[in-house]
Structure 1
Amino acid sequence: MGRVFHTSDWHLGRQIGRHRRDTEFDAVLDEIVEIAADFTPDLIVHSGDLFDSPRPGLDDMRRAAQALRRLGAIAPVVVVGGNHDTSYVLAFLEYVLNDMGTREADQIRVRFATNAHPDGLLVAEYPAAASELTLRIGALPYLHPNRFTYNFADPAMTTATYAEQMRAVQADVYRRLAAGRTARDVLVFAAHLFIEGAVPSYSERRISIATDYAVATADLPAVNYGALGHIHKPQPVVRAGYPAHYAGSPLQLDFGEARDTKCVVLAEIAPGHKPRIELAPLTSGRRLVRLEGTLEEIAHLAGRVGDAWVKAVVNVDVSNVFLPEAIAKMLPEATIVDIEERRAGAAAAVLDREVAIEELPGIEDLLRDYLPGRGITGPALDRAMSAFARLQAEPDPEDPAPCCEETLLTAAIAGQSLDGIDRTSLLVSDGTTGPEATR
């Protein structure tokens, strides 16, 4: 059997609110390396989105390089470029990890599949340590729907739909993987894409999981294992008998993932045999907990929260300036990311055209209902409403003096020469008047 260790979607640099999560990332990367060392794989696959930003910080670059170097000491590593990654960043990382380009081709331990490759696809072979099998991998980087870059044999494909293009790409992947295949070759497909039927966590970029950009399961190449990335919720591909998995993200990245159990995938595969797939859970990250209810209901739940990131949605009758202090006292071990006040009846209803103008809420009420949804509550909300009240109380001038530009425009429309204008009214921002102001 050949052994494949599959991880994905690290999103190094992802924050939660204003909080960095460096300690959690360090802990979960240590855990990933330890599980890989115990599994002793023949190949390690990272299926995309090493970073959360196309311009990762130096700390995140260092963190990625150290983790990949440690994994590369266990087994060869193939990293797929994700939609959050850029080919320039990954090319630099590959250069650093392979001793500034001084290693010979057969010494390279970490390879990257990015759009910088001339044909957009990395094909490589690795022998299995405990058998005479050879793992042959086709690694496909993320192909952006609006910037599709792939070396098609048929030029007409450049104007085809995304679904048609992806069908042709995956057929090409299988053709190249299966070329010259022997009975001892094990085929692996690694890609960063959205498969129809996959259940997203909605912490992914929404445009990249639109149904128009979903890849049909029937078009996936017929391989022994598919290592997929992009969807943050770990799950198998919904296709009978097809051995493909999303490994998911290693941490709960936002509150859309609060119920997800994170993991890596351990796959043992061989030609003509059903693969053995095991999900090894990751436990290093802090939980994300969403608490919702009245203050009393949240107090009842608080004892089970412990050390976690928390978003509290509190049902209130009136705004409570002491709410943050009350929530913090209930959850002494937690980090409060967000507190949202929810007032009954505050949601805007669809207006009937017969509703009288005098029945519409005033702008003060609308503003007071809107600001808590943007994270402005308590004393900050009171200050904002006080400032708004002061602005409303300031009287408008009865006959505001027109600015110089308005004066000139009015004169030009009337056909009036500048000689008929009071030059002292042409004051401009640099303090000049008269002829200097009109140059």
Structure 2
Amino acid sequence: MASSGESEDYTHYTPRLNQRDKHRQFTWLEGLLLIVLILSYLLGYGIQISIIAEKYSLEDPPKNRGLYLLFFFLPHLTAGLKNLQYHIRESREEDDENSVIGWVINLVFLPVSPLIRLLRAGKFGMTEKENRENGLRFVDELLTAAVLRLFDVLLGDAPTLSLLLRDDVWSRSGDWKDLASGQQEYLRCSPACTKEEIQVKIKFWTIFRMFFLVSKMAQGVTSYLVAMKRFQRLQYPEHYEHLRGRHSRQGRLNIVATFLLYFANFFFIGSRVMGYSMVSFTWGSWVYLILGAHWLINSAWHLITILNTHGITAARSVSSLVMGGVWLFVITNEQGGRQLGRLTLYYLLAFFETAICSFLWNIALAGSGDFFAFKASWALLAVFTMAVLCLLVYYSLCHPGSPSISSRGLLCCSGNRRDPLPDEEEEVESTSV
């Protein structure tokens, strides 16, 4: 897929065909990955609809149940409009994309735009044998679908899960206490004494959909990070020739590294959702103060990153606002290069946010005797710690580039965080002299 050197959103690359790399981009593993992503997307769509239907069918509906509708329609609409922006750019640059059928598909199926990109990726991947360029277009479509899913999972599933935790966990502490205690019996003596079992009201479906939403979010973020890494290495192969192993040079992570990234995202996103839902349950609208402050910090941070390289436009400002919302749940890296400083600063901010959420929870429920009063704070800290440990193991043992600390690696706001190659460093030094 061709694109201009700079897009009006965060960086979008065009991979270059490296004649030295004769390996296929689409294999049976990529085909299996596409099937998993498509099924996960469709199942998640169905689960969101079922949650909305359930909340609107209750005799005693939860407060602000309209937010379930908002967080279903808004992210899918945002992803669809972003996909339409991509299609407009493609139609200007490639004649085969500027067809009536293409426009109809992208307009009619706007609410399921990631599905369109995943199907296009499969189409290009299966024709790679006839045209090697289609292998690169497969990776490009895979990355585009992953970007669109960021809007879906982090601006839709994450707030929905926060609402579920508020309505189905924290506000039903008695039911969860019964579930933790197991099946119990009580004595009923009117008119005759009989023993009856206490029916636990927490169903498997209540637990399954919460874990599935976290898993879907972690899967979406992991697929984005893997696709972006792979895309960058196709765009700049000379920067990665020194890496260990053929798969590393191609940007492909091994299974262990991929699962470590997945679990790191799983636990970290889970900790963000837990913290926000805890504040929402105990302090109500105060959660918007925490969200708003963190959102503004993230948006300003992302905008500074763009200013360092591209300058500011209206579209890039909007993109920074959107990515500020995405960064509430996970940091992304669309610029490439080392980012030790960014990760360190981001996780420090996340730790302070976790501490604030726990502090507010403890103040509100101190001495209440609530089942979660003491447990929730420790669970939040444990989940956050697990995310940090998974990330440390990944960068220590599984990162293909053996990352090290450097002056550029410690920069937190550099728009071009890619470290130069040794030859480039020598050229820079000679030029400065």
Which structure's residues are more often strand, by fraction?
Answer: 1
Bucket of the pairwise TM-score, normalised by the shorter protein: under 0.3
Higher Rg of the two aligned structures: 1
Query: RCO (CA 8 Å, sep 6+): is it higher in 1 or 2?
Result: 2
Q: TM-score, normalised by structure 1?
A: 0.23
